[in-house]
């Protein structure tokens, strides 16, 4: 099931993001890497140096598997910058790694309500759904992520893994 690029929701005032998402949808594999980096850089800007510092501290804690520290920094971030989608996405990652799946799903839902085109958050939701054996919904999430970023390698691998098990089921 393909999603036409017109289905990609773009918040008003986000012309740069809109252009990058269109480029990503049409890019070859090599260009997709560069566009992905540009989108991540854009999405990771909170608009506040103090919030950017909390985000960096949370991501740094995640890198060294300090899950309590990551959750603490990222909770402060989401408390003070509730409209910063990437803060919710990062905290969802920390919760997932801490096996706190309910809070991870809640944070992914919030992140996606703020930025419905975040293919990495959509992939994360698919990963959680797959973890709980909901392969059909996981597959649907992966399809949506692939529609936005056709060359997202982790998504392609997930789709290949699930396709034989969900083929023939009504999506």
Sign of the Cα torsion 147, 151, 137, 123 reads negative
pLDDT in tens, 4-40: 333 444 443 455 999 999 999 999 999 999 999 999 9
91-129: per-residue pLDDT in tens? 999 999 999 999 999 999 999 999 999 999 999 999 999
Buried b (16+ CB within 10 A) or exposed e, 91-121: bbbbbbeeebeebbbebbebbbebbbbbbbb
Where in the chain do CATH 1.25.40.10 domains reside?
Answer: 28-116
What tokens were used for 27?
A: 């890019």
Angle subtended by helix axes 119-131 and 135-148, to nearest 10: 170
Q: Tell me: the pLDDT tens digits for 135-152?
A: 999 999 999 999 999 999
End-to-end CA distance of the chain: 8
**pTM (two decimals):** 0.87
Which helix (H) or strand (E) segment holds residue 49: the answer is helix 49-63
Does the domain at 28-116 match CATH 1.25.40.10? Answer given as: yes
């Amino acid at each position: 099931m393909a999603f036409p690029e017109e289905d990609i929701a773009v918040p008003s005032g986000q012309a740069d993001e809109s252009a990058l998402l269109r480029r990503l949808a049409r890019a070859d594999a090599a260009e997709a890497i560069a566009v992905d980096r540009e989108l991540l850089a854009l999405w990771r800007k909170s608009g506040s140096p103090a919030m950017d510092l909390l985000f960096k501290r949370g991501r740094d804690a995640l890198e060294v598997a300090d899950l309590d520290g990551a959750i603490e920094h990222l909770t402060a971030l989401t408390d003070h910058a509730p409209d910063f989608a990437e803060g919710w996405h990062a905290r969802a990652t920390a919760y997932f790694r801490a096996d706190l799946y309910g809070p991870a799903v809640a944070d992914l839902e919030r992140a996606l309500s703020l930025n419905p085109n975040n293919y990495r958050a959509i992939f994360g939701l698919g990963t959680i759904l797959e973890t709980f054996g909901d392969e059909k919904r996981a597959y649907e999430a992966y399809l949506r992520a692939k529609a936005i970023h056709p060359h997202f390698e982790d998504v392609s691998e997930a789709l290949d893994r699930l396709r034989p098990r969900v083929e023939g089921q009504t999506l």
